[in-house]
A and B are shown apart, each in its own frame.
Chain A
Amino acid sequence: MKLTLWTYEGPPHVGAMRVATGMKGVHFVLHAPQGDTYADLLFTMIERRNHRPPVTFTTFQASDLGADTASLFKRSAQAAFDRFRPDAMIVGASCTAELIQDDPGGLAATLGLPCPVVPLDLPSYSRKENFGADETFLALVRALARSMPRSERVSCNLLGATALGFRHRDDVAEIAGLLERMGIAVNVAAPLDASPADIARMGQAHFNVLLYPETGEGAARWMERNLGQPYTKTVPIGVGATRDFIAEVARLASVSADVPETGLRQPWWSASVDSTYLTGKRVFIFGDATHAMAAARVAAREIGFEVVGLGCYNREFARPVRAAAKDYGIEALITDDYLEVEAAIAAAAPELILGTQMERHIGKRLGIPCAVISAPVHVQDFPARYSPQMGFEGANVLFDTWIHPLVMGLEEHLLTMFREDFEFHDAAGPSHHGGKADLRPVAEPHIPEPAPANVMAAQMIEAAQALAEAIRWLPDAEKELRKIPFFVRAKARRNTEKYAADRGLTAITIETLYEAKAHYAR
């Protein structure tokens, strides 16, 4: 047993629902107790779908337990077929039904339904949502896809986009457009918006583009082995990765890699002088492995951040994430326990967090800006506007999204220049963080004791008080420290105390403060 509050991933049958809901003409019959229909609202609310997910729940209750649940399953499957007339059906069990050991696959087979019925094996007590999606897509491909002659024009399949995927809708559009410009047709994009008939003709493609390894790698590997289709290993998130992806695709398709980078603005935005202030900003990255690794590359090489933390919650991808972290000289954090993530973030004291919805809230608690780069996400990360993560437009989106929560160069400059100004004092906070500016009376004769600007400051002060038994801040130094803009003050305090501790000092003077500043200057 493990005590859990947040879960980064749902159970595997939610992954299966993501595949079924993303597709057309597929119906999922899920053996599950009353109440498991809660998962419907992930699709109708978070993704704002305008139809019910194509899932029939058997919704057994206590009174049904016993031999009755098997016939209940059969009745539900038959009724679902009669009502929805799907082109293919998938059947499986949720965690409770796994315990009562009815066999959905076997039971459905006895009905002799006139459509393919694909049984799913979803081990709820050892695996999770992404596994469920990957496994379901693989099962459908294995059941429906066949070897067939290649299309005349060079074409590929796009693999892995699902319902409830973070920016999957726009990524598919962006990459399809990019491939089109290279003269490559998209044969089938699946599971998102594909039908069973589409799955059946996937064998026509010359190769596969694996967009999301978490939800498409099982199918990509099977198709490589059984249909002779190689698949791409580069996920095109970021300018560099997109260029590498283009080169890889050009090799697989024997076409030119010379693609006009129309509309790409990210490199110039990043090179422009206002971005100089981004140099070496410390960033902590956490999410699913694919997005986290891609984000680290963009952060380090395309924006010029320093990656001080990198990790993922899906253990299946621990190895590549560990290898990537080593490139940045850090140890990867592989965990699905948010408390560990929170502790790691607090210890790394980054200036920016790139993470999931959970990290957004950790950031809020610690007073650190954050941008969302990966599922799990809330409704606001299924935007109405076009906002891919992949390709060249994706690179533009990433730049805007990540930089927005940071204090931009000009504003940082102003804050530093006018740091005791009535409009730019601590408690006012940066204008775009939503806090109401608290203007200081102009004629105020003395600097009031500032309230801690945020929880981070409060925690830091607490930590400092513990330290203060060994190291004391002299009043002048303390006053000088308050002149440092609030968003870097916590780090300045930490650095100064570490500097003093390393040198066995017991009191911090103004000189110590500036000695430390010089020592840590970059």
Chain B
Amino acid sequence: MSLDTPVKGCLHTPVLRERGQREVFCGLTGIIWLHRKMQDAFFLVVGSRTCAHLLQSAAGVMIFAEPRFGTAILEEKDLAGLADAHEELEREVARLLSRRPDIRQLFLVGSCPSEVIKLDLGRTAERLNQRHAPHVRVYNYSGSGIETTFTQGEDACLAAMVPGLAETDAENLLVVGALPDVVEDQCLSLLHQMGVDQVQLLPARRAADAPKVGSRTRFILTQPFLADTAAALERRGAERIAAPFPFGEEGTTAWLNAVAHARGVHPERFEKVTAAPRARARRAVAAHAETLRGKSLFFFPDSQLEIPLARFLARECGMRPLEVGTPYLHRALMEPELALLPETALSEGQDVDLQLDRHAALAPDLTVCGLGLANPLEAAGHPTKWAIELVFTPVHFYEQAGDLAGLFSRPLRRRAILSGEVRP
């Protein structure tokens, strides 16, 4: 790890807050990874053809594998009278559940159209709960673009589940945030080796494994975009363990250390458990850091992962962040990250045209952005890394640290190969 970057931290850096056109996904997109994680859940969006088209475009080929999500498309007659819409929805749900008896959790997901016509999905969810209990539990949250940006859809979903979690007096640890199964297993194994037991996951893979929560519950976030879920858990009496997010060797160690500290794990044991994977992670990152060191970096806002990733790229790969944009900056959750991030320009929200002007003036070596901007920026000569991949690919914890760095070094290596600068 390179610590020669002067670290002043960004805790007191002023944040540029902008309003204007935002080039971001809405929260519905979260469904695409959430439904893979929750194996007995179905996500039913109540929305328009646009919502269905968005899910189809974002899901790519996945949509052809009988995924457990769909859209109840509002038609003209649904807009004419509200009373009818609830009945229509209940009928569609009954049809869906009879066709898919394996479904145990059903999420009614609000969209912009359903929010604007004030369709009360909460009430429908309650009525459906009475009708289909105990076999199926029905939840409701909003993934609309007017309220949520991209990964906030996961936050809204998990926060909706918290009030329904069973109560417990036991001392337990909740690891919060949907992670790829392989990453989750590594995380659980490390905690187990450290002697941390009574660990549960939110979301759980199946409804039957749902975690319990109570006043002796401690929880820790694996993802930075879970502010509402954290607040909902705190309302249930659970206490958050503050930590940087587990990206890279440094982030993972700090994350595990926060748990170790909270649970009184002996430093010797912590060292014994983490020494080997830490060394592995450092070696794996070093291979990519060669390409990345000294290169400047620009983040367009997308997922709220930007600040932790910029911290990882700056401190462990030697990159120079120029501007780090994020759709929302939740100060309390981000504090440990901001303390570690070398001084850089921070922006929250977006006016995409103005941000593109700043970007053009800075001409960074690598730009992290959405797919709507990536090819146009490449064509203008800027190497890019498209951001969505960072949400779908296993990138957390030790064993993925090298892969994570690889996602950023690859576009630069590719550019060098295609321009004939290096021989592959």
Most A CB within 10 A of own CB, among B88, B96, B112: B112
B350 to chain A, nearest CB (A): 9
B116 touches A99 (CB 8 A): yes
Q: Is A503 engaged at the interface, CB distance under 8 Å to the other chain?
A: no
B103 → chain A closest CB, angstroms: 13
Residues of B185-236 whose CB lies within 8 A of A: none
Instruction: Check A37 against B49 for contact (C-beta < 8 Å).
Output: no
Interface presence of B290 (CB below 8 A): no
Report how far A45 CA is from B375 CA in the complex, Å.
7
Stretch at the interface among A46-54, A175-183, A279-287, A435-443: A46-54
Cβ–Cβ contact B53 & A11, under 8 A = yes
Given contacts A33-B144, A45-B375, A361-B64, contact A95 B48 (CB under 8 A): yes
**Interface 9-residue window, one of B54-62, B163-171, B249-257, B280-288:** B54-62
Which of the listed residues A64, A76, A96 has the most CB atoms from chain B within 10 Å of its own CB? A96
Interface size class of A (residues with CB under 8 A): 35 or more
A3–B96 CA distance with the chains assembled, in angstroms: 8
In the complex the two chains form, what is the Cα distance from A56 to B85 in whole Å? 32
B245 interface residue, CB < 8 Å from A?
no
> Closest CB of chain B to A35's CB: distance in Å?
3
Interface 9-mer from B22-30, B306-314, B402-410, B412-420: B22-30
Q: Of residues B46, B50, B116, B144, which shows the largest number of chain A Cβ atoms within 10 Å of its Cβ? A: B50
Answer whether residue A514 sits at the interface, using C-beta atoms and an 8 A cutoff.
Answer: no
**Complex contacts, A49 vs chain B, CB 8 Å:** 375-376
Identify which of A111-119, A120-128, A416-424 touches chain B: A120-128
Judged by DSSP, the binding face of A is mixed
B52 within 8 A of A: yes
A10 interface neighbour in B29, B50, B72, Cβ under 8 Å: B50
Q: From residue 141 to 172 of chain B, which have CB atoms closer than 8 A to chain A? A: 144-147, 149
Chain B residues whose CB sits within 8 angstroms of the CB of A124 once the complex forms: 48-50
Q: Which stretch, B4-12, B75-83, B260-268, B390-398, touches the partner chain A?
A: B75-83
Give which listed residue, A14, A95, A96, A378, contacts B146 with CB less than 8 A. Answer: A96
A213 to B145, CA, bound (A): 34
Q: Which residues of B contact A5 (CB under 8 A)?
A: 52, 63, 67, 69-71
Set of chain B residues within 8 Å of A9, measured between Cβ atoms: 49
Q: A35-B24, A58-B21 are in contact. Are A4 and B52 (CB under 8 A)?
A: yes
Q: Does B363 contact A (CB under 8 A)?
A: no
**In this assembly, does B244 line the interface, its C-beta being within 8 Å of a C-beta of chain A?**
no
Within 8 A of B (CB), among A59-103: 59-62, 64-65, 76, 79, 83, 94-96, 99-100
Chain A residue nearest in CB terms to B49 = A11
By a CB distance below 8 angstroms, the chain B residues around A79 are: 20, 353
Q: Which residue of A lies closest to B373 (CB)?
A: A52
Closest-CB distance, A379 to chain B (whole angstroms): 9
Question: What are 29 sample pairs from A and B whose C-beta atoms fall under 8 A apart?
Answer: A1-B75, A1-B85, A3-B95, A5-B71, A11-B49, A33-B145, A34-B26, A34-B146, A35-B24, A35-B144, A38-B25, A38-B26, A38-B57, A39-B53, A42-B57, A44-B373, A48-B375, A50-B375, A50-B376, A51-B379, A52-B372, A52-B373, A59-B22, A59-B145, A60-B146, A61-B146, A99-B116, A125-B48, A125-B76
The 3 nearest A-B residue pairs measured at CB:
A35-B145, A35-B26, A40-B372
